[in-house]
Structure 1
Amino acid sequence: MKVAVVGLGYRMANVLKSFQKANPDLAVTGLVDPAPAGLEDLQKAGLDVGPRFDNVDEMVQTARPDLLMVGSPNAFHLEHVRSGLRNGVKVFTEKPVVIDEQQSMEMAQLLGEYGADRVLVGLVLRYSDLYRDLRKAQADGQIGDVVSIEASEHIAPYHGAFFMRDWRRYQQYAGPYILEKCCHDIDLYASVVGARASAVSSFGGRKSFVPDNAPAVLSNAEREQYYCKPSGWNATDKVFDSDADIIDYQTALIEYENGATMAFHANLNVPNQFRRFCVIGSKGMAEGDFVRNNFSVHAASSGEKLVEKRYEGVETDHYGADDQMAADITRNLLEGEPLPVGIIDALEAGLTAIKIDEARRERRLIDMGSTWARFDEALRTAPRQS
């Protein structure tokens, strides 16, 4: 399988290594990136990168890949996905797909024009064993109708410091923090509920990574903490006094179209980090933690523990899901096997996150009805004639 890459950061390098495991014959036949931070890491893994190009159109027309892989900063995804589609190749794009509501509508129009099956998305947590077991518990009737969810994504200070140093600190490149980092989670729980968000509200701000909390002199342990995760393009060494415009804590409330609700909490400065959920249904409850690798289900009628499981996996490979995603996408491309998540799911999760942050900024409840009406209309764009 031949792939061409636009945006070879550390994340895309990891994704490509997983794709190489799934398909040892993988060949990178072209690269667009003026400063590919992940190149050395990829070369150490024995994966050579083909010719370098100045733009995506030229690369795709010359290299003729089976798949264009988009790992550029989020703000450029729309442009790069469009280039791939108009040149007749399938596209894999990292999450989040786009950074704001206008780009979401433009991407939806592209999908209407070219077909949603032409774009694959890296919402990797849908491939995790924990998520699969949660969905199995639902299918087995152990949870019943979902009533409410409590969920969180809390990252450790080393990871929060990375966000304050990386290009992701700017919303103009990454979008709001809850979109950039938590779109996985918002997607997962929407799929569990089985409905779109009908209304959202949110509060949050920045209180941890601020100048008043900066150590007077960094100890060795603090230096290791705040600088252990490398950053590539547009990086800074500043942590507590960076020019970031993202926030570092946020809570959100979501009401879904079927009446279920979710309370979601994100924080960038949690020493004993966790990424957990409690899904409460009419017949039982399911609890899990992606970081601590556990899952359980209890029956409401008896209190009996119906399921208890533990998993292997670490944060750096999304708890084992990176390899599973690459294997499943490879089978999809070669054999047509269905995937657990699609580009429309990703855009819906993204729009929900975008409106959550709008609700935070404007301190109001936002009804999602008009947003979904615009989105559905954009998806109805007339298909392109082949």
Structure 2
Amino acid sequence: MKKRYVLIGTGGRAEFFYGSLVRDYRETSELVAFCDVNQTRMDYANQLLEERYEHPQINTYLAHHFEEMINEQKPDFVIVTTVDRTHHTYIIKALELGCDVITEKPMTVDAEKCQEIIDAVNRTGNEVRVTFNYRYAPHNTKIRELIRDGVIGEVFSVNFEWALDTQHGADYFRRWHRDKQNSGGLLVHKSTHHFDLVNFWLGTEPEKVYANGGLRFYGKENAESRGVTEFYQRAHGNEVAKNDPFAIQLEDNPHLKAMYLDAEREDGYQRDQSVFGDGISIEDTLAVMVQYKNKAILNYSLNAYLPWEGFVISFNGSKGRIEVNVREQSYINSGGEKSDEGALKEKSIRVIPMFGQPYEVEVQEGQGGHGGGDPLLLDDIFGEPKEDQFRRAASHVDGAMSILTGIAGNKSLRTGQAVEVKNLVKF
């Protein structure tokens, strides 16, 4: 019998899941309904089903009919790809209605909502799967293997710098992510990937977090120092925006126009806000120090306005050092182009033994986004179960441990104090 799926949240990230489901897993899976706050956006998702995947259109339900959808369609799984602040609402309802859940990262945005999800899992016995595709990227899996196999001994410290360029990084300041209540800021929405990788690589959990940072590049308060003299709140219909290299023109891209501009009349969401406009409450410059339960420490930084995209990491251990450099292909979320998010432009993994000659570690990269990780993740979610020696499938506990580093970081930004992770939620 085929497994039945419904999806709530038909925005930019949704097609990653439903496209693969109807294209690659038709023999074992059935997508039966879309759910969203916006009917126009669901209608466009149905149009894509027909045109791109030759799949019949499916049932649609507005979000306030979520429970009705579950009762009528009787899905086995609910895929949650809504705005981050509403993830917990649909995760918990789905669990209580007898479904398992597949949720986009981050699992949620604050400690209170995280606790509610943990309690719902414990109460219902149903499962939550968090989709950390970076775990599946072959170079990241190789790092896990090297550390697991003791190539550099016990890891004592990690230095991790993540760079977002002025195409990708700026996009968080145009969209709903710019409001910290929606996304938890970049420490939760974006860095959940990175904090999860450190947990995954080191096989440990965060214990204490200290963070510093702020809005240093984007935002109206920084506009004058960036040379911005004419202000606008959104690009559509604005002459000033036509000469702004940070602006995005929705009407020039049929995909963006159909998904966002044509749907505005229903919910008022503007996808093309100015990165130097009002209403930005997230940071673009961040530094975090984390102490882990195994006593390893992490120095982490994220900057969202750099001339290149990728990350630089060094692991310092009792038997040597691993140095990682990765350049990635920049992208704009749901921009309509076919360039892969996280597609590799160049990478290197170098092992430097304490006594011996340094050497490069070769990694066979796969096809697809996130360095070849996306297809592997999708197969792990929708395909036949397989034994995975690296245990890359992420549970609600993994989802919690990744966001709790960022949530603790946000609390540290507010208070100026280090934050104990154990005081945020109870398992």
Evaluate the alpha carbon distance shift between residue 214 and residue 313 of structure 1 in structure 2; reply closer, same or farther with a 3 A threshold: farther
> Aligned to 1:262, what secondary structure does the other structure show?
strand
Q: Is the 8 A contact 1:5 1:32 kept in 2?
A: yes
The aligned counterpart of 1:266 is: 302
What's the CA shift string for 1:335-357, capped at 9, x where partnerless?
47565122211111111110111
Q: Identity, % of aligned pairs?
A: 21
Find the counterpart in structure 2 of residue 319 from structure 1.
371
- The alignment status of 1:295 with 2:349, answered yes or no, reads yes
Offset at residue 99 of structure 1 (A): 0.9
The 3-state SS of whatever aligns with 2:276 is coil
Match in the other structure for 2:321: 285
| Corresponding position of 1:141 | 150
Q: Residues 214 and 51 of structure 1: is their aligned pair in 2 closer, same or farther, counting only changes over 3 Å?
A: farther
Matched letter for residue 151 of structure 1: F
Q: Given that residues 287 and 299 in structure 2 are in contact (C-alpha distance below 8 angstroms), is that contact kept between their aligned partners in structure 1?
A: yes
How far the C-alpha of 1:234 sits from its partner, in A, is 4.3
Give the partner amino acid of 1:6: I
Tell me how far apart the structure 2 counterparts of residues 9 and 253 of structure 1 sit (CA, whole Å). 33
Residue aligned with 2:72, SS: helix
Range 297-306 or range 142-151, more displaced: 297-306
- Counterpart CA distance in 2 for 1:365 and 1:347 is 19
Give the equivalent residue in structure 2 for 1:110.
120
Q: 1:41 to 1:157 in 2, by over 3 A?
A: farther
C-alpha distance in structure 1 between counterparts of 2:156 and 2:386, whole Å: 35
Aligned to 1:15: 17
Residues in 2 aligned to 1:228 and 1:143: alpha-carbon distance in whole angstroms: 49
Determine if contact 1:294/1:310 at 8 Å carries over to the other structure: no
Q: Secondary structure at the match of 2:302?
A: strand
Matched ranges for 1:6-45 at <5 A: 6-25=8-27, 26-35=29-38, 36=41, 39=45, 41-45=48-52
CA contact (8 A) 2:22 2:31 kept: no
Q: How many residues align?
A: 368
**CA 1:49/1:296 → structure 2, altered by over 3 Å: closer, same or farther?**
farther
- Residues 304 and 162 of structure 1, relative CA distance in 2, 3 Å threshold: closer
Paired position in structure 1 for 2:415: 362
Pick closer, same or farther for the CA change 1:122–1:296 going to 2, 3 Å. same
Counterpart for residue 379 of structure 1 = none
Counterpart check, 1:330 vs 2:393: no
Q: Deviations over 1:306-358 (max 9, x none)?
A: 624464667xx222211110001123xx4475651222111111111101111
The residue aligned with 1:209 is 218
Question: Compared with structure 1, are the counterparts of its residues 89 and 173 closer, same or farther at alpha carbon in structure 2 (3 Å cutoff)?
Answer: same
Cα 1:111/1:336, change in 2 over 3 Å: farther
Q: What aligned pairs does 1:169-318 form with structure 2 within 5 A after superposition?
A: 169-210=178-219, 211-212=223-224, 213=226, 215-216=228-229, 222-223=244-245, 226-227=247-248, 232=260, 233-290=269-326, 291=328, 292-305=346-359, 307-309=361-363, 311=365, 317-318=369-370
SS in 2 for 1:148: strand
Displacement after TM superposition at 1:296 (Å): 2.7
Give the structure 1 partner of residue 332 of structure 2. Answer: none
Residue 159 of structure 2 is matched in structure 1 by 150
Stretches of structure 1 lacking an aligned partner (at least 5 in a row): 377-386
Greater shift after overlay, 189-198 or 85-94?
189-198
Distance 2:51 2:358 in 1: 50
The answer for unaligned runs of 5 or more in structure 2 is 231-239, 251-255, 261-268, 329-345
The Cα shift of 1:161 comes to 2.2
- Stretch deviating more after TM superposition (85-94 or 41-50): 41-50
**Are the structure 2 counterparts of residues 66 and 263 from structure 1 closer, same or farther at C-alpha, using a change threshold of 3 Å?**
same
Check the 8 A contact 1:90/1:118 in 2, yes or no: yes
Distance between the aligned counterparts of 1:20 and 1:133, measured in 2? 30
